Amino acid sequence: MSILKRPLVTEKVSSLNKRGVYGLIVDDRAGKNEIRKEIERFYGVTVDKINTMRYAGKTRNRHSKSGVIKGKRPSYKKVLVTLKSGDVMDFFSNV
């Protein structure tokens, strides 16, 4: 599971699950064909469509007693996967 990092479990993506769309966080360097093969192999489903989005890491500032502490959140790549009708991804079966 080097390409697939973790499932995206948010309120918005959970509402898309009813239509067969699932969200995942994947490796930044992975392409759509690699992601498709990994999802089909790991979950045993048929992928119909893949939409990818890259998010840049945001800078964060925190004010403390010693001054301003500057940091950066990591960047990531989000994937919305549309499955063939009838297929279901179960993220929590291997827990």
DSSP assignment string, 40-86: HHHH---EEEEEEEEEPPPEEEEEETTEEEEEEPPPEEEEEEEEPTT
- Domains along the sequence of the chain with CATH: 4-83 (3.30.70.330)
Task: Say what the pTM is.
Answer: 0.82
Q: Which pLDDT band, with edges at 50, 70 and 90, does 84 fall under?
A: very high
Q: Phi, psi (5° rounding) for residue 87?
A: -85, 145
Considering the chain, what is the average pLDDT of its residues? 92
Q: Render pLDDT for 22-66 as a digit per residue (tens, 0 to 9).
A: 999 999 999 999 999 999 999 999 999 999 999 999 999 999 999
CA distances 89 to 67, 71, 72, Å, are 47, 35, 32
Q: Which residues pair with 70 in a beta bridge?
A: 61
